[in-house]
Amino acid sequence: MIKIAIVGYGNLGKAVEAHLKNYPDLQCIGIFSRRDNLKTQIYPSFHYDELLNGEHDIDVCILCGSSDQDLMSQTQELSQYYNCIDSFDIHRLIPEHLDNVDKTSKRAKKTSIISVGWDPGLFSWQRLLFETITPIGTSETFWGKGVSQGHSNAILNVEGVKKAVQYTIPNTETLKKVQAGLSYDKEEKHERHCYVVADEKDHDRIKQDIITMPHYFAGTKTLVYFVSEEELKRNHHGKPHGGIVTRYGQTGDFNQTMSFNLDLEDNPSFTATVLIVCARAAFKMNKSKRFGAFTIFDLSLTDLSDKPRSTLIKDLL
Amino acid sequence: MIKIAIVGYGNLGKAVEAHLKNYPDLQCIGIFSRRDNLKTQIYPSFHYDELLNGEHDIDVCILCGSSDQDLMSQTQELSQYYNCIDSFDIHRLIPEHLDNVDKTSKRAKKTSIISVGWDPGLFSWQRLLFETITPIGTSETFWGKGVSQGHSNAILNVEGVKKAVQYTIPNTETLKKVQAGLSYDKEEKHERHCYVVADEKDHDRIKQDIITMPHYFAGTKTLVYFVSEEELKRNHHGKPHGGIVTRYGQTGDFNQTMSFNLDLEDNPSFTATVLIVCARAAFKMNKSKRFGAFTIFDLSLTDLSDKPRSTLIKDLL
Ligand SMILES: NC(=O)c1ccc[n+]([C@@H]2O[C@H](COP(=O)([O-])OP(=O)(O)OC[C@H]3O[C@@H](n4cnc5c(N)ncnc54)[C@H](OP(=O)(O)O)[C@@H]3O)[C@@H](O)[C@H]2O)c1
Ligand SMILES: NC(=O)c1ccc[n+]([C@@H]2O[C@H](COP(=O)([O-])OP(=O)(O)OC[C@H]3O[C@@H](n4cnc5c(N)ncnc54)[C@H](OP(=O)(O)O)[C@@H]3O)[C@@H](O)[C@H]2O)c1
């Protein structure tokens, strides 16, 4: 059994807690939070500082803190003692973060895998796979259907809006153009669907304010639906996400289109599954003395799977 | 430059020859065939037996022989001297073939990667990735649009048929059911579209004979189109293929659907691209002393790519 510590108890931490039981070779020993006396669902909670005194027997820490606030310091700190996994997603800082964690991990003979999840993560993996196979071609990534917090907040700033949820949705016309090798407008990759709660007398003006809002909606296909507060609560409280990575590759005169689609009903619980299987990979890589900080580009599927290689080859190749 | 030998000059060998120039770190030194004085398109041809005397300076042999006739013996033979790639696709014999090539490769301190292409190959990779991430769920593979030689030949056996091409096509209704977690009939995964050349007086009877043919068409949605010989030649001479690997995964109450689609205008030239990038991987793995026989499950993307790891992380993670 691989002994797992969950570090941080937000959306992602809760999702890792909820789903770890589906991976029979992994065992959760507890949740470590900076908050005291945290009420958790399944596993016991401990204070984050207990991770620093080496009292707990832990094989891998799954760090579920925020990329903005926590991960750059926490992963570096904990990789002095443990194999670590994180989902750090601030693209321009990834090389620096990787470098920091690589140094601490190597010194401690530990193995960390950073920036895993689906984007960065599986999407990056597919992008690189597609471009490597067909060096000539065009790649695109479309996101959604997913809630965009930034755009939802922008709508909330419109006078008279009480509540709002904005979904980013791939524009299927543009997707078809990419996959057919036709020219397309980068500005037209996504549609924006807005669900808004407001008094009826304001609807027309609010709609105009939204669809003409510079930077956020102007120039983009934007649909505005007014709903009641009850309907918003009932139908738009979820955290769906996903998207499509596609490549229109060319081999001579032939077109070869590859695509990878994710349609996620719940973003944190899917991201959690990727973190969980990477925890297994870090453990296995550490056992075979591959020390340092790695990314999803460095992993093989035999690292990620719990099944013996011969079984994988027999059953799935 | 990595020096490549193409072994065997059929559809796949010709496709590797045609597309190698798109991979600037690879250089073709020639085509090796069992046939004498072969007329090739770009690179010089040599006799297969010259591979056995060690006269040529070769880093990796890309074996393009037939799985039925050639690969079990040829890959084993050549892996005594060279790093080798093949696309061996007889599923039940893969473990035995892997074992044989592993022994010769290890003895020679060489690196081979067997059974690469898209199925086996990329499809196997995605299947394993999807199942590893979400252990609870349902996976399916749909093939097509692609020509099935076996089914085309079955139609040719019907009295009065002069020429025939049969395409296997994913049944989109069944695909939607899989992706929505609904029950579905395995027999209804594919549709069969038949393009047939025959005298008009026989059309009705031939159509009946086809759609009721046991094992091949009976019980499956089958469409029969009669076309002229000219139209068959003009519109149905290609080698399209592809398909969809999909998984309806579950994390608790949430459904998470993953899918990978290939839409290939030409099967041999796409398969060739996968063999080519695996040749690069075998070379790199050999340089870092990873000797033996491997499969696509053992590779990382940093093995497959020609770009430095730091560039990949900066640009694509
Ligand atoms: N790569 C990908 O595909 C992907 C996808 C989704 C998310 N992510 C990454 O995952 C990170 C975490 O996402 P998240 O949604 O789990 O963030 P979150 O809910 O804001 O949680 C982040 C941290 O904040 C603290 N926290 C949570 N709830 C709190 C509360 N009520 N009061 C005080 N502190 C609280 C927790 O630490 P303590 O328990 O220590 O207080 C928690 O670890 C994101 O920053 C993003 O970078 C990546
Ligand atoms: N994994 C995948 O996704 C995938 C996809 C497609 C194909 N494949 C595999 O690739 C293998 C090769 O496919 P292919 O379409 O290239 O087969 P092919 O055209 O039949 O060629 C196989 C071999 O037959 C010989 N040959 C070809 N044309 C000949 C001719 N006119 N006269 C005499 N000999 C000839 C060549 O060897 P010499 O030059 O030595 O005579 C050649 O290497 C298949 O068996 C299949 O297993 C795998």
- Residue A212: pLDDT band (50, 70, 90) is very high
Nearest CB partner across the interface for B254, out of A265, A297, A312: A265
Q: With pLDDT > 90 as the criterion, what percentage of chain B qualifies?
A: 97
Cα torsion B230, B236, B239, B244 to 10°: value is: 180
The pLDDT score that the predictor gives to residue A125 is: 98
Looking at residue B146, its pLDDT comes to 96
How high does pLDDT run on average in chain A? 97
Give me the percent of chain B exceeding a pLDDT of 70.
100
Contact at 8 Å (CB) between A88 and A72? yes
Give the mean pLDDT of B89-106: 97
Q: Which residues from chain A sit within 8 angstroms of residue B300, using beta carbons?
A: 297-300
Q: Which parts of B207-276 are beta strand (E)?
A: 222-226, 241-251, 254-264
Chain B residue numbers touching A257 (CB-CB < 8 A): 261-264
CA nearest A4: which of A276, A310, A302, A281? A276
Nearest CA among A137, A152, A125 for reference residue A274: A125
Read off the pLDDT of residues A72-113 as tens digits, 9 standing for 90 and up.
999 999 999 999 999 999 999 999 999 999 999 999 999 999
The rounded distance, in Å, linking the Cα atoms of B101 and B110 is: 10
Q: Which residues contact B108 (CB under 8 A, 6 or more apart)?
A: B79, B80, B81
pLDDT at residue A199 in the model: 97
Q: Among A254, A269, A295, A296, pick the best mutation site for testing chain B contact (most B Cβ within 10 A).
A: A254
* Angle made by CA atoms A124, A130, A136, in degrees to the nearest 5: 125
Condensed to tens digits (0 to 9), the pLDDT of residues A109-167 reads 999 999 999 999 999 999 999 999 999 999 999 999 999 999 999 999 999 999 999 99
- Banded pLDDT at A67 (limits 50, 70, 90): very high
B65 vs B306: CA distance, rounded Å: 26
3-state secondary structure of A166: strand
Q: State how far the Cα of B285 lies from the Cα of B275, in Å rounded to an integer.
A: 15
Return d(Cα B198, Cα B209) in angstroms, integer: 13
pLDDT tens for B236-259 read 999 999 999 999 999 999 999 999
Instruction: Output the six-digit token pair for B239.
Output: 């080698």
Distance separating alpha carbons of residues A196 and A92, to the nearest angstrom:
34
Residues A247 and A71 sit within 8 Å (Cβ to Cβ): no
Candidates B278, B298, B294; CA nearest to B101 is: B294
Say which of B23, B249, B314 has its CB closest to residue A135. Answer: B23
Mean pLDDT of the region B20-44? 97
Contacts of B310 in chain A (CB under 8 A): 95
CB–CB of B317 and A301 under 8 A?
Answer: no
Bridge-partner residues for A109, per DSSP? none
- Taking 90 as the threshold, does the pLDDT of residue B187 lie above it? no
H or E segment to which residue A31 belongs: strand A26-33
Q: What is the pLDDT of residue A54?
A: 83
pLDDT in tens, B203-243: 999 999 999 999 999 999 999 999 999 999 999 999 999 99
pLDDT at res. B54: 83
Residue nearest to atom 48 of ligand 2 (CA): B87
What are A30-55's pLDDT values in tens digits? 999 999 989 999 999 999 999 998 88
* pLDDT band at residue B98 using 50, 70 and 90 as cut-offs: very high
